[in-house]
Amino acid sequence: MSTDTYENLRLELRRGCLVLAVMAALEHEQYGYTLRKALAERGLAVDEGTLYPLLRRLESQGLLASQWREEDKRNKRFYRLSDDGKRLLGQLLEEWKRIGASLNGILGGHLHGTG
Amino acid sequence: MGLVDRYLHSVEFWLPKEQQKDILAELSEDIRCEIEEKERAKGQKLTDPEIEALLKQRGSPFRVAGRYLPQRYLIGPAFFPLYTLVLKAILLCYLVPWLVSWVAIVVFMPSYRAEHPGLSVIWTLEGLWTITLYAFALATLVVALLERSARGKGFADSWERKWNLPAPREPHRIPRGDAVGQFLGGIVFALWWLGIIHRPQIEGLQLDFAPAVYRYVYWPILAVVLASAALAALNLLKPHWTRGRLIARVVIRGAEATTSIAFLLIATPVLVHVSGASAAQEATLAEVANWIMRVTVAAIALFAIGDGIRGLWLLARGRHVTAGLPQAAGPRAI
């Protein structure tokens, strides 16, 4: 199996999780750079070329709200989860739990190295 | 202008106009935050090479801007199978037969090779490449336009519905694919027959029909093909067999079979002339060309007879709708 195949599958696996992580992190208002740092500190490093287009997409879908504001004498764009985003996050978390439970059952043997 | 500004300026070039200002402000802020953080950790300002390394890590301006653009494609997944089918048809029905003919001439006719020595023989294919390129470009353009048109979207949706929700087939319904295929096939054949679509030219090779073809079957064949295309067009608009159209189908197929048999009765319908070839070589090529033509026309005659008989059977069994009456209840297949 080539490294490219692994990398593509890894990115595909991360893509869905990333949306959930970003939405959850934005329950508290943050601007892009601090959001990126927060995700990286929790082990989910994401480059700016992925994060900012994702934030724009979520905002265009009405799940995030943003506002330009001055902080430390510089203009920064702050994002937070909208009301629609909060509702959807709740639904997605339920789905995440269901998927997690199913996967634990399916992958049980593999996760314990006996698969 | 500093390195960061130059980088942002390059990114700006690729961004959509209406979002340029907003995206650049945010990107600029992100880059400056990262630089400040690294400077704090280092305890002094970053040097130009360090800033350059940091920007390189983010990727080229083109790549960075590309991530903000919506995903665009000329031909989407719904139409891609159709597109590849059309390209394969062009390849198999057009390019491959002509290439095989060309290879046969080059391999078996030393006089042809002598007339086009060395690599110059490749240039005898110029016309074929040009027409193939046009055909591919036209296919791409047509499918891309179909993709974009509202009707195209409807077609894609109906195509998806067909596979997602298979509906029971309506009685007496004429498959849309059959009507489209017969209509397009008829029109393309008529254009070719009239010489509006030119045959690809292999330099030195001339193919034509014998005078007897033009005298006896040329216009009848054209009339039958146009009648068949007209019936297919009508079937496309009103996709249920009626008594009148079943009769028309039987008559047209009968005429097709008759004209095909008349064509087969002509002794040598295809004339071949190859510049520089001996009479014996030309006779061999003519024999091959006529054999291929006879097999093709015989297949058309057999299809016409079979389809005509099926039309008669449907008529005899009353397998048609009565014109003017509403259709039997049932979901539409597409």
B292 and B212 fall within a common domain: yes
CA-closest candidate to residue A16, choices A95, A76, A82: A95
- Residues B166 and B217 both lie in one domain: yes
Is the domain of B44 the same as that of B89?
no
Q: How many domains does chain B have?
A: 2
pLDDT at B228: 93
Cα–Cα distance measured from residue B200 to residue B188, given in angstroms and rounded to the nearest whole number: 15
CA B309, B314, B318, B324 torsion-angle sign: negative
Distance between A34 CA and the closest CA of chain B, angstroms: 9
Instruction: Give the pLDDT score at A92.
Output: 95
Same domain? For B196 and B310 the reply is: yes
Please give the pLDDT value at position B151.
53
Residue numbers of the domain that contains B22: 3-67
Do B23 and B86 lie in a common domain?
no
All residues at 6 or more sequence positions from A46 whose CB lies less than 8 Å from its CB, including other chains:
A18, A36, A39, A40
Residue B260: inside a domain = yes
| Predicted pLDDT of residue B327 | 45
> Tell me, what's the pLDDT at A42?
92
Q: Examine residue B333 and state whether it is found in any structural domain, yes or no.
A: no
Which residues numbered 30-69 in B keep a CB inside 8 Å of some CB on A? 30, 32-34, 58-59, 63-64, 67-68
Measured distance CA(B334)–CA(B162) in Å, rounded: 6
**How much is the ipTM here?**
0.79
Calculate how close chain B gets to A51, using CA atoms only, in Å. Answer: 10
Integer Cα distance of B294 and B282 in angstroms: 18
Indicate the pairing of strand B270-274 with strand A74-81: unpaired
Shared domain for B59 and B158, answered yes or no, is no
Give the C-alpha separation, B228 to B151, whole Å: 25
B31 to chain A, closest Cα gap in Å: 9
Question: What is the residue-level pLDDT of chain B in tens, covering all 334 positions?
Answer: 688 999 999 999 988 888 889 999 999 999 999 999 999 999 999 999 999 999 999 889 988 888 888 777 788 777 788 888 888 888 887 788 888 878 878 887 777 778 888 878 888 888 788 888 888 898 888 888 877 775 555 555 555 555 454 555 566 788 877 787 888 888 888 888 888 776 666 677 788 888 999 999 999 999 999 999 999 889 888 888 888 999 999 999 999 999 999 998 988 888 888 777 777 778 888 888 888 888 888 888 889 999 999 999 988 888 888 754 444 444 333 3
**Domain-embedded: residue B324:** no
Nearest by Cα to B272 from B214, B204, B212, B218: B204
Nearest CA in chain B to A74: B29
- Which residue of chain A is at minimal alpha-carbon distance from B65? A49
Per-residue pLDDT at B331: 37
- Using the Cβ of A15 and the Cβ atoms of chain B, whether some distance falls under 8 Å is answered with no
Nearest to A33 among B30, B59, B64 (CB): B30
- pTM reported for the whole predicted model: 0.53
Rounded to 5 degrees, φ, ψ at B129 are -60, -45
Q: Which residues of chain A fall short of a pLDDT of 70? A: 1, 112-115
| Beta carbons within 10 angstroms of residue B283's beta carbon | 12
Does residue B18 lie in a domain region? yes
Interface residue A73 vs chain B (CB under 8 A): no
A17-40 exposure pattern, b = at least 16 Cβ within 10 A, e = fewer: ebbebbbebbeeebbbbebbeebe
The reply to whether B36 and B102 lie within a common domain is: no
Interface size, chain A vs chain B, as Cβ–Cβ contacts under 8 Å = 37
Q: Mark whether B85 and B60 lie in a shared domain.
A: no
Residue A53 has its nearest CB partner, among B29, B33, B67, at B67
Same domain flag for B207 and B297: yes
Which of B67, B97, B114 is the C-terminal boundary of a domain? B67
Flag whether B321 is in a domain. Answer: no
Nearest CA in chain B to A75: B29
Nearest-angstrom CA–CA distance, A115 and A109: 4
In a domain, B325, yes or no: no
